[in-house]
Structures are given as structure tokens and as C-alpha cells.
């Protein structure tokens, strides 16, 4: 029974650490790119300030060099409005790091 707990906590910790690292790297990349995207209510949506458009998904990519508004994709608009502007990425990082710390604690206790 004890060995099963160690295995479950160990695998869970590994998965959470990988997710936490990915989220951290993704967030760093997003905040490098997010200065090029904005919400323009007078135009009715989210636009990139340069063309061709950049991307926030699957990995953030800067837009081109031409100064012209280009509409963001629906995925980019959703990520910008509801994930980046509401700081959900920061909360997700904090949650995964706290979960990793908790699982590490449980793993150490299960090993003893």
C-alpha cells in the first residue's frame, strides 16, 4: 500500500511539474507578445497592431513589421480577453506551483 502511494504521488508530482513549467514558459512568451494586441471597441473586436497577425496559440508569435491593424483570430481574442487580461495565467501558474509543493510534501511523507 505504501509503495502505491509513493508511485501515485511521484507520477502526479512529475505531471504537475511539467504542466507548471509549460505554463510558466508560455506566460513569459505571452507577455512578450501581448503588447502588440489590443481590444478596440470602436472597431468591434480584438486586433493586432501590426500585420501580418501574430498568434497566442499554440505558442505566442509576434506579428509582422507592417504597421496596420489586423483582426485577431477568435482563439487569440478569447485568450486575450478572458485569460491574459483577467490574469488567469498568473493564477494558473500559482495554483500549479502550490499543487506541486503539496504533492512534494505528500510524497516525502509517504516515503518516510
- Strands 66-71 and 45-51, by their bridges, are antiparallel
1-5, 29-33, 43-47: least confident range: 1-5
Helix (H, G, I), strand (E, B) or coil at 49: strand
Q: What is the pLDDT of residues 37-88, one digit of tens each?
A: 999 999 999 999 999 999 999 999 999 999 999 999 999 999 999 999 999 9
Is-contact 70 46, C-beta < 8 A?
A: no
User: CB within 8 A of 67, min separation 6: which ones?
Assistant: 49, 50, 51
Q: How far is CA 91 from the centre of its chain?
A: 10
**H or E element in which residue 82 lies:** none
* Predicted local distance difference test score (pLDDT) of residue 1: 59
- Cα separation of 96 and 42, whole Å? 37
pTM over 0.75? The answer is: yes
Please report which residue ranges of 2-87 form alpha helices under DSSP H. 2-33, 74-78
Amino acid at each position: 500500500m505504501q509503495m502505491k502511494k509513493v508511485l501515485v504521488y511521484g507520477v502526479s508530482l512529475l505531471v504537475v511539474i511539467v504542466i507548471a513549467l509549460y505554463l510558466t514558459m508560455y506566460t513569459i512568451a505571452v507577455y512578450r507578445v501581448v503588447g502588440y494586441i489590443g481590444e478596440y471597441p470602436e472597431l468591434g473586436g480584438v486586433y493586432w497592431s501590426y500585420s501580418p497577425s501574430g498568434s497566442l496559440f499554440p505558442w505566442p508569435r509576434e506579428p509582422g513589421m507592417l504597421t496596420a491593424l489586423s483582426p485577431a483570430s477568435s482563439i487569440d481574442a478569447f485568450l486575450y480577453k478572458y485569460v491574459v487580461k483577467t490574469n488567469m495565467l498568473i493564477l494558473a501558474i500559482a495554483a500549479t506551483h502550490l499543487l506541486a509543493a503539496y504533492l512534494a510534501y505528500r510524497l516525502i511523507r509517504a516515503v518516510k
